[in-house]
């Protein structure tokens, strides 16, 4: 290993459950290895200094971009995906940052570390180690821009909630119910107290990284929204020039791509950012794809105009729609995982997108699940201090989370590869999903109130259970069923039927 007076450390960055002692010179698989170097602080290192490194194991080499962390500190982060000894060499136009070498050993992951999430079987998800992952997400756009007390409350709530993914903005919001001034910003301010878009604020990004790490310790993936239209010139983050946009994207990706629980969302309601052209979004996708060596998920959220999710740099279709019954069509159109991140929110605010009932939101979760997509939660109840979960976090007051937890448990008890929508005669009267090869069916009746249902089953014997999706009960149906079987039902809405082959 080449020694250097400029090498401050080569350490593992992750605190909490992801931590490995630095002096061991080891990092767990899918953990974070960090190299920190001493370099120039004069001028503007955010713009003037380039830094990267090649990490090699065997015949495999991966290039990683570094970043400036302030006060003469330069950092490279790396997520190892193979067991064994890695070696690295840095590259920079600055002499003291160039040619630094080192090595570390990648060891087995700790309990609970399954790696980043990947696409599985075209429409579904699994962690890198093969463990199934079913996204049951929520939205908390600006929670990291609130007081520390409120952020801690949000984390406490999430620890007890059923969600394993959260949509959150990098930039603060200037929007209804969200007018407060954050205490810290992504960019530094100049002597005139105006943002200097050529200088990032490392303290802000350290705070963001801390929150992403804490989410990871809770088993929650952070779907990071890079841009959004909810600024309207208040801070100017929605109208930066193209060069600044690109520099910002590269910096965020360099800092956070080594975190295994990160997803990238190019924007929320991208089509409402009127100053951006359609081609800009293609460019952002490709820039993230080129800058992230670990190929984390890349999506974009729509307002009224959908992005073309067929484009090769899109990993999954991130959708805003209340029409969950159309999910089968979305699957056929895109042939990618479908995540309806916003199907409207449980709440009682004046805006129609934020005042559906808890029962309606639970209905949409069930409907989307059985027809082959994944559905996201949000909550918008009126609060005297404008602390609405959907934007600021805090506590959950709605009735849907416990029912979503019930559904998640049922899905996790089902076929490990996830549900597929069932076609043919199933689709005329019911919404049905399952896995024919696994002899498992989940049938949902929505607002209908049937007293019986006749279903086309194989000739093997099946046991049936009636599921009350609101009261969260599962009641066995007496008898065994096969062929064109008629199965009794309770004659009330929002029930489902689970059919499993008798062993």
Same domain, 369 and 262: yes
For residue 338, the surrounding DSSP H or E stretch is: strand 338-342
Same domain, 365 and 445: no
Q: Can you tell me the mean pLDDT for 272-288? A: 97
Q: Which of 72, 107, 142 is the last residue of a domain?
A: 107
Same domain, 316 and 388: yes
- Tell me the pLDDT band of 430, cut-offs 50, 70 and 90: confident
Quote the mean pLDDT of the chain: 93
What's the whole-model pTM score? Answer: 0.94
In DSSP notation, 48-110 reads H---EEEEEETTEEEEEE-EE-STTEEEEEE---SSEEEEEEEE-SSGGGTT-EEEEEEEPPP
Q: Is the pLDDT of residue 240 over 70?
A: yes
Q: Is the pLDDT of residue 425 over 70?
A: no
Q: Which of 413, 446, 473 is the last residue of a domain?
A: 413
User: Does any domain span residue 484?
Assistant: yes
User: Does any domain span residue 239?
Assistant: yes
Q: What is the CATH number of the domain that holds 407?
A: 3.20.20.80
Same domain, 261 and 308: yes
User: Does any domain span residue 124?
Assistant: no
Q: Is the pLDDT of residue 18 over 50?
A: no
Pairing of strands 84-91, 495-501: unpaired
DSSP E strand stretches across 260-316: 262-267, 298-299
Higher pLDDT, 93 or 437: 93
Q: Which of 381, 413, 445 is the last residue of a domain?
A: 413
Burial class of residue 239, CB neighbours in 10 A (0-12, 13-18, 19+): middle
Per-residue confidence (pLDDT) for residue 484, from 0 to 100: 86
* pLDDT tens digits, one per residue of 446-477: 999 999 998 888 888 999 999 999 999 999 99
Q: Is the pLDDT of residue 4 over 50?
A: no
The fraction of the chain above a pLDDT of 70, given in percent, is 93
Mean pLDDT is lowest, of 142-151, 383-392, 427-436, for 427-436
In DSSP notation, 224-270 reads EEEE-STTTTSSSTTS--HHHHHHHHHHHHHHHTT-TTEEEEEESSG
* pLDDT tens digits, one per residue of 335-347: 999 999 999 999 9
Assigned token pair, 479? 């008898």
Same domain, 81 and 140: no
Q: Is the pLDDT of residue 292 over 60?
A: yes
What's the structural domain count of the chain? Answer: 3
Assigned token pair, 74? 């330069």
Per-residue confidence (pLDDT) for residue 20, from 0 to 100: 32
Q: Can you tell me the mean pLDDT for 42-66? A: 98
Same domain, 336 and 459: no
Q: Can you tell me the mean pLDDT for 170-195? A: 95
Assigned token pair, 235? 């801070």
- Tell me the pLDDT band of 310, cut-offs 50, 70 and 90: very high
Candidates 322, 293, 139; CA nearest to 228 is: 139
Q: Is the pLDDT of residue 133 over 70?
A: yes
Q: What 3-state DSSP class applies to 362?
A: helix
User: Does any domain span residue 114?
Assistant: no
Q: State in Å, rounded, how far the first CA of the chain is from the last one.
A: 59
Q: What 3-state DSSP class applies to 153?
A: helix
Cα dihedral across residues 223, 229, 231, 233: positive or negative: positive
Residue holding tokens 């609060």?
383
Per-residue confidence (pLDDT) for residue 188, from 0 to 100: 97
User: Does any domain span residue 395?
Assistant: yes
For residue 473, the surrounding DSSP H or E stretch is: strand 473-481
User: Does any domain span residue 89?
Assistant: yes
The fraction of the chain above a pLDDT of 90, given in percent, is 88
Q: What 3-state DSSP class applies to 434?
A: strand
Q: Is the pLDDT of residue 239 over 50?
A: yes
Q: Is the pLDDT of residue 10 over 70?
A: no
φ, ψ dihedrals at 202, nearest 5°: -55, -30
- Give the angle subtended at the CA of 260 by the CAs of 259 and 263, to the nearest 5°: 90
Per-residue confidence (pLDDT) for residue 422, from 0 to 100: 86
Same domain, 374 and 438: no
Same domain, 341 and 445: no
Q: What is the CATH number of the domain that holds 38?
A: 2.60.40.10
Same domain, 338 and 451: no
Same domain, 218 and 293: yes
Instruction: Give the structural domain span for 46.
Output: 7-107
Same domain, 184 and 48: no
Q: Is the pLDDT of residue 296 over 80?
A: yes
User: CA 396 to CA 140: how far, in whole Å?
Assistant: 11
User: CA 90 to CA 79: how far, in whole Å?
Assistant: 16
Same domain, 304 and 330: yes
Candidates 235, 139, 138; CA nearest to 184 is: 235
Mean pLDDT is lowest, of 10-24, 84-98, 432-446, for 10-24
Q: Is the pLDDT of residue 11 over 70?
A: no
User: Does any domain span residue 371?
Assistant: yes
Q: Is the pLDDT of residue 426 over 70?
A: no
Per-residue confidence (pLDDT) for residue 427, from 0 to 100: 57
Q: Pick from 56-60, 456-460, 483-487 the range whose average pLDDT is largest.
A: 56-60
The greatest distance separating any two alpha carbons of the chain, rounded to the nearest whole angstrom, comes to: 79
Burial class of residue 391, CB neighbours in 10 A (0-12, 13-18, 19+): buried
Q: What is the CATH number of the domain that holds 440?
A: 2.60.40.3950
User: CA 25 to CA 496: how far, in whole Å?
Assistant: 53
User: CA 393 to CA 406: how far, in whole Å?
Assistant: 22
Higher pLDDT, 206 or 435: 206
User: Does any domain span residue 113?
Assistant: no
Are the C-beta atoms of 328 and 422 separated by less than 8 Å?
no
């Amino acid at each position: 290993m080449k020694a250097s007076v400029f090498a401050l450390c080569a350490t593992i960055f992750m605190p909490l459950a992801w931590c490995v002692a630095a002096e061991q010179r080891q990092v767990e698989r899918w953990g974070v290895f960090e190299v920190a170097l001493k370099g120039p602080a004069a001028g503007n290192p955010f713009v003037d200094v380039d830094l990267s490194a090649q990490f090699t194991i065997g015949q495999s080499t991966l290039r990683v971009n570094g970043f400036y962390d302030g006060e003469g500190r330069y950092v490279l982060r790396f997520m190892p995906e193979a067991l064994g000894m890695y070696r690295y060499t840095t590259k920079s136009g600055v002499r003291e940052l160039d040619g630094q070498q080192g090595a570390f050993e990648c060891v087995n992951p700790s309990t609970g570390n399954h790696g980043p999430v990947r696409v599985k079987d075209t429409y579904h998800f699994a962690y890198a180690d093969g463990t199934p992952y079913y996204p049951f997400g929520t939205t908390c756009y600006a929670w990291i821009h609130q007081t520390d007390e409120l952020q801690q409350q949000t984390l406490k709530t999430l620890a007890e909630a059923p969600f394993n993914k959260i949509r959150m903005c990098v930039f603060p919001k200037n929007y209804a119910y969200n007018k407060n001034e954050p205490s810290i910003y992504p960019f530094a301010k100049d002597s005139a107290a105006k943002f200097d878009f050529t200088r990032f604020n490392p303290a802000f990004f350290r705070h963001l990284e801390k929150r992403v790490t804490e989410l990871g310790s809770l088993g929650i993936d952070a779907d990071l929204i890079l841009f959004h239209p909810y600024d309207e010139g208040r801070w100017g983050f929605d109208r930066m020039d193209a060069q600044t946009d690109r520099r910002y994207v590269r910096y965020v990706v360099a800092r956070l791509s080594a975190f295994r629980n990160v997803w990238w969302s190019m924007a929320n309601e991208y089509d409402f950012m009127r100053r951006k052209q359609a081609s800009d979004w293609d460019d952002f996708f490709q820039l993230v794809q080129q800058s992230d060596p670990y190929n984390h998920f890349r999506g974009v959220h729509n307002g009224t105009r959908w992005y073309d999710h067929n484009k090769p740099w899109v990993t999954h279709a991130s959708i805003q729609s209340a029409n969950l019954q159309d999910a089968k069509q979305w699957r056929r159109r895109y042939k990618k995982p479908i995540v309806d991140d916003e199907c409207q929110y449980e709440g009682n605010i004046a805006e129609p997108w934020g005042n559906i009932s808890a029962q309606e939101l639970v209905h949409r979760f069930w409907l989307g699940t059985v027809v082959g997509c994944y559905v996201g939660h949000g909550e918008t109840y009126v609060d005297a201090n404008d602390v609405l979960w959907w934007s600021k976090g805090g506590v959950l007051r709605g009735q849907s989370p416990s029912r979503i937890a019930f559904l998640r448990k049922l899905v996790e008890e089902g076929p490990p590869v996830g549900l597929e929508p069932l076609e043919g005669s199933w689709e005329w009267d019911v919404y049905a999903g399952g896995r024919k090869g696994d002899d498992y069916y989940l049938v949902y009746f929505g607002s209908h109130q049937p007293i019986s249902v006749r279903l086309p089953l194989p000739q093997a014997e099946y046991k049936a259970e009636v599921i009350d999706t609101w009261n969260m009960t599962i009641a066995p149906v007496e008898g065994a069923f096969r062929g064109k079987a008629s199965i009794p039902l309770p004659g009330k809405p929002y029930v489902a039927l689970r059919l499993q082959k008798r062993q």
